[in-house]
Structure 1
Amino acid sequence: MTRVVIAPDSFKGTITAADAAESIARGWRSVDPATEIVLRPMADGGEGTVSAFAAAVAGSERMPLTVDGPAGARVETDWLLLPASEDAPRGTAVIDLASTSGIELLDELRPFDAHSGGFGQAIAAALDHGVSRLVLGIGSSASTDGGLGMLAALGARFIDAEGLDVEPGARGLLRVAAVDLSGLRAAPEVLVLSDVTNPLTGARGAAHVFGPQKGLVDTADRNSVDAALAHLADLLGLDESTSGAGAAGGVGGALVVWGARLVPGAGEVARLISLASEVHAADAVITGEGSYDGQSGDGKVPSFVAALAADAGVPALIIAGRITVDADRGLFAASASLTDLAGSADAALAEPAHWLTAAGAVLAESVFRTD
């Protein structure tokens, strides 16, 4: 019997990794219904991290809560409780920033007012539950607040020149004169999933590289926020050149101050859901993402899964919303583009589940043709 592992990332903004995996499986089974299919939706710390763990880890439980979203409006979300284990006897909490303080939660960009407070509130809820370990995905941030909102929700204070707490967001970051960490909650073991290696400040830092996509389009504004981040790092005792400190508008650096360890997202997710052992026992593995292009290199889900497959001597296949001419097709035995199948990018985006099912059938026919 053929055994196929399906391990895609989310197709950002259109379909979650878990739903993508289900759709691909449906298409494959339409060609070869006898195939044993193992679903292992993946993530690299961004959108869909919680859903990926929920689909892959038996006995996990979603824990609903309401937090302050990145613009202040209340957001209904959840964190995921993984079962107790030898190295986490009171369980592990998986929390993603995207569902609490993510850019997709904004109706419009708010470069100075968006904040990471909801993410901190979700972390606090998991701490209240008593978990032994936190696994935090920090992709898709809406703000460049240096992690002020998150740390404030965990008990830190950020104070202006008059001794008052600053307002949320980059607007408050610009006015921080002093920091009081005496009330900051103690951290358990904290793993932060992120493939971003940017430092906190400078030309490759949070404000200049990621700020424009969050609304910091004016050079003078980016310079001001960059300087404020450098001042914050000094107050917190953080080396602003720390790899990954610039992730999520500086949340990465704030988490380092709290005692967290930054780890490569895709690799850590794969380890925690035992993906390597599943791939070694498979006849083929399918991965995917929204856009497979020249930037889908080291650390991204498709290239990571392809490397696992190569180590196992198993053919890797890929499905993507689009596959560009500079993409490394040599990593994969077969590929399918939703844009090509649908006839246009707009058509593919309108019905991602339908075209993922079609792509699953195409790959099944190309690799294991039935008479």
Structure 2
Amino acid sequence: MSTTGNSAPDDRPVRVVIAPDKFRGSLTATEAAEAMAAGVRDAFAPVEVLVDLVPIADGGEGTLEALLVSGATAVPVRVTGPLGDPVEAAIAVRGDTAYVESAQACGLTLVPRPGPGTATRASTLGVGELIRAAVGTGARTVVVGLGGSATTDGGAGMASALGWVPVDADGRPVPPGGRALAAVAGLTRPAAADRSGLDGVRVLAACDVTAPLVGPAGAAAVFGPQKGADPAAVAVLDDALRTWARVLAGVFGRDVSDVPGAGAAGGLAAGLLAVCDAELVSGADLLLDLVGLPTAVATADLVLTGEGSLDRQTVTGKGPKAVADLARAAGVPVVAVAGRADLHDPDVCAAFDLVGDLVSAFPGRNTMHHTATLLRQRTRDLVRGLVPAGR
């Protein structure tokens, strides 16, 4: 493979855009971009290279970081964590738009020892508190990034924070968490009739999964085990979410149980659709636009992307695939570097012009403990042959 697209003439530097997502458990997206940039400079030396770092996210963890790097302002907020403890979070604000990363309030990283007990009682209350704080900044649009949650409560906690409190048949508030939704019979209305100040505020739910709220492909069945739910807990949660969906339909007149994407973040998307009249949008596409990646790619000679694991899930909507699509549309070669890549999956390999990973390149090495160093080396080796001819 050789660099094509915007091939650099001899009188200007080579322009390389580096836009990775996080390497979960080892590097943030920014740290990954910096390691890859070092590898690019190693490979191209002594050719001058201009590197544009554009760390990305797909709506889940790392979304806020990517937005702040691109120029948004952070507003610190203390909210309720998934198990009821206070946690420090932040909102990113740019113009009249505020961005909420739900994982900051209900993320799995906030649960030290996930198990069936935590999976069934974790709550999205803090996400609702973040939305209220976002509206309090004067924002007219609130983007809620979904992903990486510890919760499977269908957004019931979020609804409670906005004044729509789930209650049982006797009118008593039900406890937090998905398990308790089995007893929910209705919702109290907010004291104000304007959905806690949300009237006139556009809410976007940014995600890249197509799971419905319930059923064998739903929130509990697909994502519950990742959050510590055993088969019994998955069954309890799925039944409880069905009850919750019926209540939402009765109150808001909208059945969200089978909406593609409603199962994102443990059904938080479903709650946003019903309670906030939210619009579901692609997290990857939205974030790439917000961080200015299309503009950066348009003048690039080479694009690099990657994440911790490149697999079938990546090519069905994750950030690196969206980066590759942008690069392909602009006629710019795109290279993917991952911690681990399914190099035997033809769709994974076809999504990029060149794919490499750390696990296969460094067998026997602890790639989780030396990720930055190995990522730099692997990037250098992959792009070394891509220096434009005559440079």
Of structures 1 and 2, the one scoring higher in RCO (CA 8 A, sep 6+) is 2
- Is residue 2:16 matched to residue 1:8? no
| SS in structure 1 of the partner of residue 345 of structure 2 | coil
Question: Per-residue CA shift, 1:33-85, capped at 9, x if unaligned?
Answer: 62111111111111101111111x23x21111221111112212212112x2x
Alignment-derived partner of residue 212 in structure 2 = 199
Query: Whole-Å Cα distance in 2 between the matches of residues 331 and 246 of structure 1?
Result: 26
Compared CA separation, residues 222 and 119, structure 1 to 2 (3 A): closer
Query: Whole-Å Cα distance in 2 between the matches of residues 250 and 291 of structure 1?
Result: 24
Alignment-derived partner of residue 77 in structure 2 = 65
**Counterpart amino acid of residue 376 in structure 2:** T
Mapping of residues 1-371 of structure 1, within 5 Å: 1-32=13-44, 34-55=48-69, 57-58=70-71, 60-82=72-94, 84=95, 91-109=96-114, 110-183=118-191, 184-187=195-198, 188-219=201-232, 220-236=235-251, 237-239=253-255, 240-257=257-274, 258-324=276-342, 325-326=344-345, 328-344=348-364, 347-368=366-387
Query: Whole-Å Cα distance in 2 between the matches of residues 97 and 207 of structure 1?
Result: 18
Could you state the TM-score of these two structures normalised by the residue count of structure 1?
Answer: 0.91
Alignment-derived partner of residue 88 in structure 1 = none
Query: Whole-Å Cα distance in 1 between the matches of residues 245 and 205 of structure 2?
Result: 22
**Counterpart amino acid of residue 231 in structure 1:** R
**Runs of 5+ consecutive residues of structure 1 not aligned to the other structure:** 85-90
Deviation of 1:116 (Å): 0.6
**Runs of 5+ consecutive residues of structure 2 not aligned to the other structure:** 1-12
Further displaced range: 245-254 or 196-205: 196-205
Deviation of 1:223 (Å): 4.5
* Matched positions, count: 361
Query: Whole-Å Cα distance in 2 between the matches of residues 232 and 277 of structure 1?
Result: 45
Query: Whole-Å Cα distance in 2 between the matches of residues 128 and 265 of structure 1?
Result: 23
**Counterpart amino acid of residue 103 in structure 1:** L
Deviation of 1:313 (Å): 0.7
Query: Whole-Å Cα distance in 2 between the matches of residues 224 and 364 of structure 1?
Result: 51
Deviation of 1:161 (Å): 1.9
In the alignment, is the contact (CA less than 8 A) between 2:79 and 2:126 conserved in 1? yes
Deviation of 1:263 (Å): 0.4
Query: Whole-Å Cα distance in 1 between the matches of residues 90 and 370 of structure 2?
Result: 26
Question: Per-residue CA shift, 1:161-193, capped at 9, x if unaligned?
Answer: 222111111133122111123343133122211
Further displaced range: 291-300 or 216-225: 216-225
| SS in structure 2 of the partner of residue 37 of structure 1 | strand
Question: Per-residue CA shift, 1:293-329, capped at 9, x if unaligned?
Answer: 2332131122211111111110000110011222522
Compared CA separation, residues 199 and 294, structure 1 to 2 (3 A): closer
| SS in structure 1 of the partner of residue 384 of structure 2 | helix
Deviation of 1:207 (Å): 2.0
In the alignment, is the contact (CA less than 8 A) between 2:298 and 2:330 conserved in 1? yes
Query: Whole-Å Cα distance in 2 between the matches of residues 143 and 247 of structure 1?
Result: 10
Query: Whole-Å Cα distance in 1 between the matches of residues 91 and 238 of structure 2?
Result: 35
Query: Whole-Å Cα distance in 1 between the matches of residues 92 and 164 of structure 2?
Result: 25
| SS in structure 1 of the partner of residue 93 of structure 2 | strand
Query: Whole-Å Cα distance in 2 between the matches of residues 223 and 78 of structure 1?
Result: 31
| SS in structure 2 of the partner of residue 191 of structure 1 | strand
